[in-house]
Amino acid sequence: MLIVARSVEIHRLQKAYQSSEPEFIVLYGRRRIGKTFLIRGFFENKNCQFFQATGSQKGTLKKQLTHFTEALSVTFARGIQLKPSNSWEEAFQVLTQFIETTNSKHKIVIFLDELPWMATRRSGLLEALDYYWNQNWSRNSKIILIVCGSSASWIIKNIIYNKGGLHNRCTCEIKLDPFNLAEVNEYLKSRQIKLNKNHVLEIYMALGGIPYYLKYVEPGITAAENIQKILFDPKAPLRDEFKKLFDSLFTESDTYIELIKLISRKKDGMSRSELEVLSKLSRGGGRLTQRLEQLIQTNFIEPYIPWDKERGEYYKVIDEFCLFYVYWLSSTRSKKLTHDHWLKQMQKPIYHVWAGYAFEAVCRKHIDQVIKALHIKTAENISSWRLSTKKSKEHGAQIDLLINRSDDAITLCEIKYTDKPFIIDKQYAQKLQNKMGVFKTKTKTTKQIFMAVISANGLKESMYSEEMISHIVTLDDLFN
C-alpha cells in the first residue's frame, strides 16, 4: 500500500512505533480522507500483531460487539468462532487476555476504527476504554492503542478533552487534512495520471483534496471529462456523496447542510449575525456556535475577522466539494443529465462566477504558498475587505485578499481565474486605482500599500501592470 503525501503523519507513527513506552494515538479527519488506509498501510509491513475493529454506522450495541468479537477471532484465534461479548467491559477483558497470552516480543497494535460509531448510546464503551487503558494496556510497553473517527467533534470532546480517566492520556494526536494542490498532483502521478497544472486545478476545485474522491480520476482524459464521469453521469460514483458525507458525520445532518448552503450564498461568506437571522438555529445561540465549531473542525468552513473588526466574525465555505455541490449538483439530483452536461455548463456565465469563487477559496487554503511567493516575512491579519455604498457619489470597493503585515505595509491581492494570462488595460488599471483610493480613505491607514495579483496563468506585461503591480503569484507558486 503506497502512502502518498503523508510524510508528517508517517513520521509521528514511526516515532510511536519505535517508542519504548505504550502509546495512545488519536487520529481524526473527515470521511474518505484516508485514515484507515494510512494506519493499515503503515503497519502492514511492520513486525507487529495488528488488531483492527471497526464501528458500524447506526449499528446496535449487539452488532458492534459481534463485529468486535469477529475481529478478535481473525487476529488472535485463527478464525475459530468465539462467543460475542455482552458488554464492552467483557469485550476488552477478552482482548486483554489474548494480549497477555501472546508470546510475541513485537508491538501489539489495537486499532479501534470509527470509534464514535462503536460508542452507541449508553453502551459504556468510554468507561470500559478508560478502565482497560489505565489499568492494563498503559502498563504494557508493547501496546500501541489507536482510536480513530470521522466525527472530529466527537473525538475532540470525548477523547482529547475527556474530563474523566482518559484526560491527558493521548500521547500522539493526528488530524488528517485534505491534500493540497502539490499533494493532489503527487497522488495523481502515483496512479499514472499525467495532467498539467490547469487540469489538476480544475479537478481540485470540484473534488478537493480527498483521496477517496481522487481515486476515481481516470488517466487519458481531460479534467472536464473526469468531472462529468465522477459527478454527473447516471451512475456517477459521487453524485449522492454530499448527503452521505454529512449523514456519516452528524446526527442532525440537515442542520449542517442548511448552514453550508447559507454560507455558500455569498462570496465573502456570512457573518454570525446573518446566520442567526437566516438559520433555523437562530433561537439557540449555543447550538449555532456548536455546529459552526464542528464544521470548522471538519474543514468545511473557515472563520475569519474582516479588516473592519466591528463587523464581527465571518465564516466562509472552504471545502471544494461542498461548493461544487451547492452550485452544480443540488438542483440536478432528480434530473437525467446528458453525457456532455458539464461541458455545456462550462460555457455559461455562471461557470465563471463559480470558478472565480472556487479559485479564491483555493488561494485562501494555500495562503502559506501565497505569502511565500509574495516574500512576506510576517502577517498580522489575513482577510478580505468590502465597502458597499448606496450613495451615488461614492465608489464601492472589494479586496479579494488583504494581508496586513508587521512591517508597516499592507498587500492587497486581486485574485483572477482565467485560462490565459490576465491583462490589465487602462480601464482595469483605473478600477484598481479607485479601489486602493477607497481603501485608504475609508480605513484611514497610513501603512504602505502594495498591489499584487494572484492569477492562475500569470499576468501579461503592460505599461499598467508594471506601474501598479508589485508581485505576481501564479499556479506554479500554489503548487510549490
Cα(309)–Cα(304) distance, integer angstroms: 10
Q: Determine contact, residues 303/262, Cβ cutoff 8 Å.
A: no
Q: How far is the C-alpha of 53 from the C-alpha of 148, rounded, in Å?
A: 11
Helix, strand or coil for residue 415? strand
Would you say 111 and 75 are in contact if contact means Cβ atoms under 8 Å apart?
no
Residue 330 has what pLDDT?
87
**Rounded mean pLDDT for each run of 10 residues along the chain, 480 residues in total:** 92 97 96 96 95 96 97 94 96 96 90 96 96 96 96 93 91 96 97 96 97 97 97 93 92 92 88 86 70 92 79 87 93 81 94 92 94 93 78 69 94 94 94 93 94 95 92 96
CA neighbor of 25 nearest in space, from 101, 97, 118, 133 = 133
Cα–Cα distance measured from residue 141 to residue 258, given in angstroms and rounded to the nearest whole number: 47
Q: Which of 238, 217, 234 is nearest to 226 (CA)?
A: 217
CA Rg, the chain, in Å?
25
Q: How far apart are CA 322 and CA 320, in angstroms?
A: 5
**Cα 135 to Cα 143: distance, rounded to the nearest angstrom:** 13
Cα–Cα distance, 470 to 162 (Å, whole number): 50
Predicted confidence at residue 220, as pLDDT, reads: 96
Q: Rounded distance, CA 79 to CA 88, Å? A: 21
Is the separation of the CB atoms in 335 and 443 below 8 Å? no
For β-strands 409-416 and 379-387, DSSP reports them as unpaired
Half-sphere exposure of 249 (CA within 13 A, CB side): 29
d(CA 301, CA 294): 9
The DSSP call for residue 110 is E
This prediction's pTM = 0.92
- E-only strand ranges, 406-464: 409-416, 422-423, 448-455, 459-460
Query: Which pLDDT score is estimated for 392?
Result: 44
Short-list 250, 278, 252, CA closest to 263: 278
Please give the domain boundaries of the chain with CATH numbers for all domains: 7-175 (3.40.50.300), 241-332 (1.10.10), 366-478 (3.40.1350.10)
SS3 category, 31: coil
Question: What's the pLDDT score for residue 395?
Answer: 62
CB contact at 8 A, 147 and 27 = yes
Give yes or no for a contact between 458 and 197, defined as CB atoms under 8 angstroms apart.
Answer: no
The residues near 399 (Cβ < 8 Å, ≥ 6 apart) are 307, 384, 385, 386, 412, 413, 435, 439
C-alpha dihedral sign at 270, 276, 282, 288: positive
Cell 451512475 found at? 235
Grid cell for residue 440: 485608504
Rounded distance, CA 384 to CA 179, Å?
A: 24
Judge whether 141 and 83 are in contact, CB under 8 Å.
Answer: no
> What's at 265, amino acid-wise?
R
Structure-block grid coordinates of residue 214: 481522487
DSSP β-ladder status, 23-28 and 172-175:
parallel
